[in-house]
Amino acid sequence: MDIVDPMRIYHRYCVQVMKDDLGLPLRTHGPETTNGYLLVIFLSTVLHSKIRSLLRDSKLRMSLQNILLDLSKIRKVVLRDGTTLTTEMSKKQRDIIKALGIKYKT
């Protein structure tokens, strides 16, 4: 019976998420760039996994791509006097934020 290295399994998972779900190719020109790129991919994979886990536990039945698209429409504006305004959120956006457990000021 072969013992499978857990890091190898995790590495394969990260590469799969990177290529399939995130759509990120690996095109770099130096070791520093590659290391930085892999760090960003790793952090993206962690966030991606966490959001998918939260979605599984919630009652939302939306794809991650649609959720990110809906949330990308929220804007925060800082006026010259320092006042911060956030665009009004739709019910769908509020439901997503509640399902993901994000705290926000109204």
pLDDT, tens digit, for every residue of 12-69?
Answer: 776 666 666 656 666 767 777 777 777 887 788 788 888 888 888 887 888 888 988 9
pLDDT at 83 over 80: yes
- Tens digit of pLDDT for each residue in 58-82? 878 888 889 889 999 999 899 999 9
Q: CB neighbours (10 Å) of residue 67?
A: 19
Residues 28 and 65 in one domain: no
Residues 1 and 45 in one domain: yes
Residues 1 and 51 in one domain: yes
- What is the pLDDT, as a whole number, of residue 33? 77
pTM of the entire structure?
0.56
Alpha-carbon separation of residue 100 from 7, 31, 36, 62, 94 (angstroms): 28, 36, 28, 12, 10
Residues 49 and 88 in one domain: no
Range of the domain at 17: 1-57
- What is the pLDDT, as a whole number, of residue 1? 42
Residues 15 and 41 in one domain: yes
Residues 44 and 85 in one domain: no
- What is the pLDDT, as a whole number, of residue 90? 92
Number of structural domains (the chain) is: 2
